[in-house]
Amino acid sequence: MTAGAPALDVDGLSASYGHLRALFDVSFSVDPGAAVALVGANGAGKSTVARVVTGLVPAGAGRVRIGGTDVTGRHAWEIARRGVTHVTEGRSVFSSLTVEENLVLTFRATLGRAGVGAALERSFAAFPRLGERRGQSAGTLSGGEQRMLALARALGSPPKLLVVDELSFGLAPVVVEQVYAALDRVRDEGCALLLVEQHVDRALRLADRVVVLRKGRVVADGPPAELAPKLDELVLGPGPG
């Protein structure tokens, strides 16, 4: 771990699914404790970036560094052990396990047996609703509660980097505020954030920087204030006219 190194550094990344190339030479970085929003149209490659960063999809070329350490080609579990939590797009919990088992699974692996109790308490304090349903199987939770549970994995002990993909998808506005408040708190504890969002406005309020992807390439990278006015054009590409 190099002092002063970015929490996440993505350098010249490309990735493919079989014969389908999804990313081309993507580079950006996230400073420690900073929040970066990754925006783009459907299919732009946002989730793919998140998956390559956390080791779910192999990088075809380029490097991924976490806190200065090269993790390209590492297994997802090794990257997770380095303090990276990934809340994936869609369902990101084990339906067949209970709420508590979902959390224990993560905490035991990352914090060891001794840390589990305290971490559980912190998670349930952040989302009391989960505490009430701790014995219920996660598959029977509502969509919003499942998102909370997925996020709660990061709350037990704040990771160095939290990657969140479409956190607010399908959530009621009140719940959106609740989960974003949780994100704020994690960030205050020094965790860097990589946020993938369709709902750009909400993400921009939190983010220090915005990276815009189009068809698998980075087309803009800068502070929200600077990019916000022309974001539509950046995301969708130059119009026909």
Partner 1 sequence: MTELLGYAIPGIPFGCVFALMAIGLVLTYTTSGVFNLAFGAQAFVSGLAFVSLISDGWPRWAAALLAIVVLGPAVGLALDRLLFRRVRTASPIVKLVPSLGLLIALPQLALIIAGSVPTIAPPALFLDAQRVYAHVLGVPVSGLELSIMVATAAVVALLLVLARATPLGLQMRAVVESPRLVELSGINAGRVGATAWVISSCFAGLAGVLLAPLYSQIDPQNYTVLLVWGIAAAVIARFESIPLALGGGLALGIGQQVLAGYLPPGVIASGLRPSLPFIVLLVFLPFGRRNRIEDPLAGCDPPPSTMVEDARRYRPASALAVGADVGTRAVGLWHRALGAGPSESLAARAVRRPTTVVAWTLAALAVLSALTWVPADWLLTMTQGLAFGTVFVSLTLLTGMSGQISLCQASFAGLGGFVAGQLATQMGWPVLVAGVAGGALAALLGVIVALPTLRLAGLPLALATLAFALLADNVLFPVSWLGDGASGVRLPRPSIGPVRFAAARPFFILALVLLVVSAGVVKRIGDGTTGRYLFAMRGSETAASSVGIDVRKLRIGVFAISAGIAGVGGALYGSLQGSLVPEDFNYEISLVLLVVAAIVGLGSIGGAVVAGLVYTTLQRAVATLPTRYAGLVAVLFGLATLSYTRHPEGIVDFLAGRFSELWARLLGALRTPGYGRDAPAPEPEAEPAHGVARP
Query: Is residue 81 close enough to count as binding partner 1 by CB under 8 A?
Result: yes
40 binds, among partner 1, Mg ion, ligand ATP, none (CB under 5 to 8 A by kind): ligand ATP
Query: Is residue 140 close enough to count as binding partner 1 by CB under 8 A?
Result: no
Q: What is the Cα gyration radius of the chain?
A: 18
Closest to partner 1 by CB, 129 or 217:
217
Dihedral sign of CA atoms 91, 127, 188, 4 in order: negative
Query: Is residue 146 close enough to count as binding Mg ion by CB under 5 A?
Result: no
Residues 123, 57: Cα–Cα separation, whole Å: 29
Candidates 29, 47, 102, 157: give the one binding Mg ion (CB under 5 A).
Answer: 47
What one-character-per-residue DSSP string does 26-51 give?
Answer: EEEEE-TT-EEEEEESTTSSHHHHHH
* Longest pairwise C-alpha distance within the chain: 62
Cβ of residue 46: shortest distance to partner 1, in angstroms? Answer: 13
Cβ of residue 88: shortest distance to Mg ion, in angstroms? Answer: 9
Tokens 């992807």 sit on residue:
213
Candidates 64, 66, 99, 104: give the one binding partner 1 (CB under 8 A).
Answer: 104
Cβ of residue 197: shortest distance to ligand ATP, in angstroms? Answer: 9
Residues 67, 54: Cα–Cα separation, whole Å: 13
Site for partner 1 in 161-220 (CB under 8 A): 215-217
Tokens 């709350």 sit on residue:
155
Residues 57, 76: Cα–Cα separation, whole Å: 9
Helix (H) or strand (E) holding 25: strand 20-30
Closest to ligand ATP by CB, 122 or 199:
199
Name the residues that contact partner 1, by CB under 8 A. 16-22, 24, 43, 47, 51, 54-57, 75-77, 80-81, 85-86, 88-97, 101, 104-106, 108-110, 139, 153, 215-217
Name the residues that contact Mg ion, by CB under 5 A. 47, 89
